[in-house]
Chain A
């Protein structure tokens, strides 16, 4: 049984002190239900990373189902660090594909701003190895920095060579009314930005924020009768790799990203040239470069050249971060993967406004957890 998306919804990405996890979830769900013209679903999968740590709130499946007026349905939380959103959609796809669930709702939600500064930095680091990385004071930015420094060393790349990723993300985010950052960024400011974990700077890493996004899926056959523009999920795969950075066979290769992309592309029966846009996990510019390499859009050590040469721009060979990506739209942890899906759907339906990629028919989204231990890849297609 094939699976299609019939509705999507999302909130703004920013600091929302006045809004709780349950409200954030509901805003995205309400928008998705409206979009799909349905009032109920049969199962709910909540993608979340940090509620237990930052809000002392677990058991989000039942909490969100109850708050959304869906008491009684099947509901669970799905956690895979910052790949929780993509992983939640994957569970929704499996549920529908199994035939046991008719219509499934996946919502990604994260509430970063219940705590601030050092507590959030520590909470995020729980996606790394607590005993052997976090106890040495490593942070997610430090993780990105360790990879980036080695990449620069092995491939003879300068810090300025990564600027193109952030410049592109901000240029696209400037046209997205829901984005956290809507300012343009100059390459000159990139290299002089304050350091977070040398060589990773403030303008290199994605800002943390609150947000929620939701996606409703059902069988392809039902979808065609329900909405005018169903978007088919033609590829869906999760893969894993070494959990800690130090245990990777190759520090500069995202094996899980490679495996999940290969699987999803084989399911979809597509080659690289067929893909019109790619929402990748640009939590750091180095992750964008490595994601392009692992998925086969660039050769090893050359992902950064796609940014330098403008190939990732909206009119380039492979547009990425078309609504600003994690870098400018903002990074609401476990919700990030669901934003990527919502954005690809809007592109394929031709509803992307000023961010629109012309004639987009096939889009890919890749959501990465931790330092690369989990990667989720989805490929979406709209039929004429």
Chain B
């Protein structure tokens, strides 16, 4: 895929930047410019916290071109704490660990190596949240 396409998407890929709707306040990811709740313009940028939980997940064994070397890998629907659902890979965990409702957080990882030039594409994935004991 083209370099310009990856460049265009870097704010979403690296920082999970979406939008807020001025009219109804709903948060949107991916950004879409027209609010899907109230159809008003939504162009104010909003950076998501990256916290959420697994809404559904699958382990992909039959991978598309560009991902063959990663298989098997897991793709999930992550429900972000602000409301929207995002499609993303799970990482830093074993294949049998995922469950619906699992708390996860966003991290930046290598998504795939693109084309013959071998351009490496980075982006968001989600990993389990490790709860550290709170020390006062």
Binding site for B on A (CB under 8 A): 118-119, 121-122, 125, 129, 131-139, 141-142, 145-147, 149-150, 153, 194-200, 242, 244-247, 251
Q: Inside 8 A of A195's CB, which chain B residues have their CB? A: 59, 61
Q: In the complex, which of the residues A122, A131, A197, A200 contacts B30, with contact meaning CB atoms closer than 8 Å?
A: A131
Q: Inside 8 A of A129's CB, which chain B residues have their CB? A: 87
In the complex, the 9 A-B pairs of residues with the closest C-beta atoms, listed nearest first: A145-B58, A122-B64, A150-B56, A246-B85, A118-B65, A122-B65, A198-B59, A121-B64, A137-B67
Known A139-B62, A247-B36, A251-B56: A132·B75 in contact at CB below 8 Å: no
B56–A149 contact, CB under 8 A?
Answer: yes
- Nearest-Cβ distance from residue A282 to partner chain B, whole angstroms: 19
B62–A136 contact, CB under 8 A?
Answer: no
Q: Inside 8 A of B111's CB, which chain A residues have their CB? A: 135-137
- Nearest-Cβ distance from residue B20 to partner chain A, whole angstroms: 16
A198–B30 contact, CB under 8 A?
Answer: no
A242 to B12, CA, bound (A): 20
A199 to B73, CA, bound (A): 14
Quick check: is B68 within 8 A (CB to CB) of the other chain? Answer: yes
A198 to B74, CA, bound (A): 9
Quick check: is B66 within 8 A (CB to CB) of the other chain? Answer: yes
B61–A132 contact, CB under 8 A?
Answer: no
Quick check: is B123 within 8 A (CB to CB) of the other chain? Answer: yes
- Nearest-Cβ distance from residue B85 to partner chain A, whole angstroms: 4
B60–A197 contact, CB under 8 A?
Answer: yes
- Nearest-Cβ distance from residue A129 to partner chain B, whole angstroms: 8
- Nearest-Cβ distance from residue B30 to partner chain A, whole angstroms: 5
How many interface residues does chain B have, given as a range?
A: 35 or more
A247 to B55, CA, bound (A): 13
B70–A197 contact, CB under 8 A?
Answer: no
A139–B63 contact, CB under 8 A?
Answer: yes
Q: Inside 8 A of A244's CB, which chain B residues have their CB? A: 30, 87
A132–B87 contact, CB under 8 A?
Answer: yes
B75–A138 contact, CB under 8 A?
Answer: yes
Contact with A along B41-72 (1 / 0, CB 8 A): 00000000000000111111111111110100
Binding site for A on B (CB under 8 A): 5, 9, 12, 30, 36, 55-68, 70, 73, 75-77, 84-89, 100, 111-112, 121, 123
A196 to B30, CA, bound (A): 27
Q: Inside 8 A of B57's CB, which chain A residues have their CB? A: 146, 149
- Nearest-Cβ distance from residue B42 to partner chain A, whole angstroms: 13
A121–B73 contact, CB under 8 A?
Answer: no
A139–B64 contact, CB under 8 A?
Answer: yes
Q: Inside 8 A of B84's CB, which chain A residues have their CB? A: 246
Q: Inside 8 A of B60's CB, which chain A residues have their CB? A: 137-139, 141-142, 197
Known A118-B63, A196-B61: A147·B56 in contact at CB below 8 Å: yes
Known A118-B68, A195-B61: A136·B100 in contact at CB below 8 Å: no
B89–A122 contact, CB under 8 A?
Answer: no
Q: Inside 8 A of A196's CB, which chain B residues have their CB? A: 61-62
Q: Give 24 pairs: A residue, B residue, CB < 8 Å, sorted on A.
A: A121-B64, A122-B64, A131-B9, A135-B112, A135-B123, A136-B75, A137-B63, A138-B60, A139-B62, A141-B62, A145-B58, A146-B56, A146-B57, A146-B77, A147-B56, A150-B56, A150-B100, A195-B59, A195-B61, A197-B59, A245-B77, A245-B87, A246-B86, A247-B85
A99 to B84, CA, bound (A): 46
Q: Inside 8 A of B89's CB, which chain A residues have their CB? A: 136-137
A121–B62 contact, CB under 8 A?
Answer: yes
In the complex, residue of chain A having the shortest beta-carbon distance to the beta carbon of B112 = A137
Q: In the complex, which of the residues B12, B61, B85 contacts A197, with contact meaning CB atoms closer than 8 Å?
A: B61
In the complex, residue of chain B having the shortest beta-carbon distance to the beta carbon of A124 = B64
A121–B63 contact, CB under 8 A?
Answer: yes
A131 to B111, CA, bound (A): 12
A145 to B72, CA, bound (A): 14
A33 to B36, CA, bound (A): 46
Q: Inside 8 A of B9's CB, which chain A residues have their CB? A: 131, 135
- Nearest-Cβ distance from residue B101 to partner chain A, whole angstroms: 9
- Nearest-Cβ distance from residue A362 to partner chain B, whole angstroms: 36
Q: Inside 8 A of B70's CB, which chain A residues have their CB? A: 137
